[in-house]
Structure 1
């Protein structure tokens, strides 16, 4: 059901095809529209996003979320096979909800420390009938030390949260060996790369690739960093709540 007062998202079939070598099905397109409508409605109470204009929403929330899970020109293979995915600091549900929409074989856990946001996302995933999505309220420093979450995920996504070394400390402890962390960034510098290599090494990972790309509508620069888990993360990581941000690795 589309509310007639909600503007329609652009379909952008050609851009999806050119940039991700993929296009949403009619059903996925409908779910994107429902998600957009839910966020516009939720914004009234929760201030979920400043990005509400249809084309901007399409680019900065939908396209950006899905571009991050494309590595070397194709969707990360484990997603189609049925990966266990965690989206850390999901906020209004990005990138996790779009990923859940296009990867129905995978299970997506949406983690945020704000109960109100998680309550909102619970309503969204019920309305969109996303049976492969579930929510979790908590801080990643604590979740990363819990046996039911530590070293069990295939894929950890983190967007718009902290510096890269903090993101590495939040994601890598949650991944099983061979798992992949995707850190979504805007700009990126060579200096940051050195600091990241140092942090990732301590956490049992390696920087597999860094991909820079241009967004299709506004020509903005984006970077995605792909960290591969190659060894067990030492038990002391992640450190206590607040420590990763105060004393980055």
Structure 2
């Protein structure tokens, strides 16, 4: 039985009718594969709309005025899992060139199916670790935007993201709750990685009124060559100040 998305309950003006059809197809593929791949705990239609589609795009909608994303931006979604926020971004902003990065080969194979069936011609899925990608010349400091959603601590996420971002580019961390301690630590650690904290924007999800935060940093100078550190170290020994 096909489950349809209740668009009328949560109007998403970002999507035209063709893009809604792509979201529907994405949802069906996700439901079909989720039982064996454990891609997400969020499978109810309305939850999917709010907590996956809407939430994936909110970080772009709240972009501070001082930051800009080029129309044909090169974007990397680090630890994408089931494709969030990268796939909703790819549907909404088809001119973006998006790399979906995950360390689990089975999830990447799923994403390659999504890319093919949704005809997302400017999207690729890669099975690798951010620590490895950040030290690879064809990826290091080449992205306009790196996004990290629900992966690890803020400082660890930043060590994954900033080495991949070009000077002038943006690292966007999707967070739930946010503390002054986290903000202070991130602001102090960012310069070690070549970045600067720009803004943290809080907002509510439209239906459940849950608090979310988008944390924006800008790449201001090259990341020192020792970062990111080898696989596993950023999570085991987060940078401090």
Instruction: Please give the TM-score of this superposition, normalised by the length of structure 1.
Output: 0.92
Q: Which residue of 2 aligns with 1:7?
A: 3
Q: Which residue of 2 aligns with 1:142?
A: 132
3-state SS in 1 of match to 2:198: strand
3-state SS in 1 of match to 2:40: coil
Q: Distance in 2 between matches of 1:185 and 1:237?
A: 23
Query: Which structure would you say has the larger RCO, counting Cα contacts within 8 Å and 6 or more residues apart?
Result: 2
Q: Which of 153, 168, 177 is the equivalent residue of 1:178?
A: 168
Aligned structure 1 segments of 4 or more residues deviating by more than 6 angstroms: none
2:49 matched to 1:53?
no
Q: Distance in 2 between matches of 1:226 and 1:73?
A: 8
Superposed displacement of residue 36, structure 1: 0.6
Q: Distance in 1 between matches of 2:48 and 2:221?
A: 38
Q: Which residue of 2 aligns with 1:109?
A: 99
Superposed displacement of residue 71, structure 1: 2.8
Contact 2:10 2:50 in 1 (8 A): no
How many equivalent residue pairs? Answer: 238
- 1:19-78 alpha-carbon deviations (Å, 9 max, x no partner): xxx43100011111111101000112111111110000111110000101223488x742
- 1:73-97 alpha-carbon deviations (Å, 9 max, x no partner): 88x7425x10000000000000001
2:152 matched to 1:156?
no
Superposed displacement of residue 169, structure 1: 0.3
- 1:1-249 equivalences in 2 (<5 Å): 5-12=1-8, 15-16=11-12, 22-72=13-63, 77-78=68-69, 81-249=71-239
Instruction: Please give the TM-score of this superposition, normalised by the length of structure 2.
Output: 0.95
Q: Distance in 2 between matches of 1:71 and 1:130?
A: 25
Contact 2:73 2:144 in 1 (8 A): yes
Runs (5+) with no aligned partner, structure 1 = 17-21
Superposed displacement of residue 214, structure 1: 0.4
Q: Distance in 1 between matches of 2:227 and 2:141?
A: 12
Alpha-carbon RMSD across the aligned residues, in angstroms, is: 1.5
Q: Distance in 2 between matches of 1:34 and 1:73?
A: 32
CA 1:40–1:222 in 2, change beyond 3 Å: closer, same or farther? same
Q: Distance in 2 between matches of 1:231 and 1:245?
A: 23
Q: Distance in 2 between matches of 1:145 and 1:198?
A: 23
Q: Distance in 2 between matches of 1:177 and 1:36?
A: 36
